[in-house]
Structure 1
Amino acid sequence: MSSSVNSDAAKQTFDEFVDSTQEYLDSVVVDGSDQELFIASYLTGHFSLVTSNALALDDYSLATMNSYMLTSLEKAYANNEVEGQDQAQVSALWDRLFAKAEL
């Protein structure tokens, strides 16, 4: 029973993080500058993919999600999908959003 309770808590934490992150990313569409919209939109694509994969695998570990997200972004950067300051802003936004999960 304890394992089930732990996994229920992990799923709830995961769901809350996903919801709050998506809510923030969506808010940029309404309130953000063109640059903020670009950065948030770019991050949304990676976030949606990583979240979908986690849900498909029933893996609600935020640490694993962060690892997959960082790997996804690193691959994109290696392919020059975004460069320079845009790259730094995407990474900074993810770091800021993920830091909220660790609170």
Structure 2
Amino acid sequence: MNQQYEEKLLNLIDRMVETASDDELFAGGYLRGHISLSAANCEMCGKTSVDAMNNAVENSLKETQSELNPADQLIVNAMWEKLRQEAYNK
């Protein structure tokens, strides 16, 4: 389940490349790493639900929030919410 969800999220990022703003490209690239790492961690721990994957990504983002300035944090968090909703609804 997580692999399919990860693929949906990454495909959404890939599809927006042609029309994305610089901020969206930055956020997509930043999130790509968090999504892939979270999917791998969930798989290793045997967590297969979409909720577990979402929680893992959100925890990963919280743990690394000091890497970003407040404006970039807002951009990344908004992009994550958008991706999460779009992937969940498809």
- Structure 2 counterparts to residues 69-88 of structure 1, below 5 A: 69-77=57-65, 80-88=66-74
Q: Which residue, out of 20, 36, 39, partners 1:32?
A: 20
Q: Which has the larger radius of gyration?
A: 1
TM-score, normalising length from structure 1? Answer: 0.73
Cα shift at 1:55? 2.4
Cα shift at 1:34? 2.1
Q: Determine the structure 2 residue equivalent to 1:46.
A: 34
TM-score, normalising length from structure 2? Answer: 0.82
Cα shift at 1:17? 2.3
Give percent identity, aligned residues only: 29
Q: Deviations over 1:10-37 (max 9, x none)?
A: x2xx443222211111223333222211
* Bigger RCO of structures 1 and 2 (CA < 8 A, at least 6 apart): 2
Length, aligned pairs only: 89
Give, in whole Å, the separation in 2 of the partners of 1:42 and 1:66: 16
Residue segments in structure 1 that go unaligned for 5+ positions in a row = 1-10
| RMSD between superposed Cα atoms in Å | 1.9
Residue segments in structure 2 that go unaligned for 5+ positions in a row = none
Q: Determine the structure 1 residue equivalent to 2:78.
A: 92
SS in 2 for 1:30: coil
Structure 1 segments, 4+ long, off by >6 Å, are none
SS in 1 for 2:34: helix
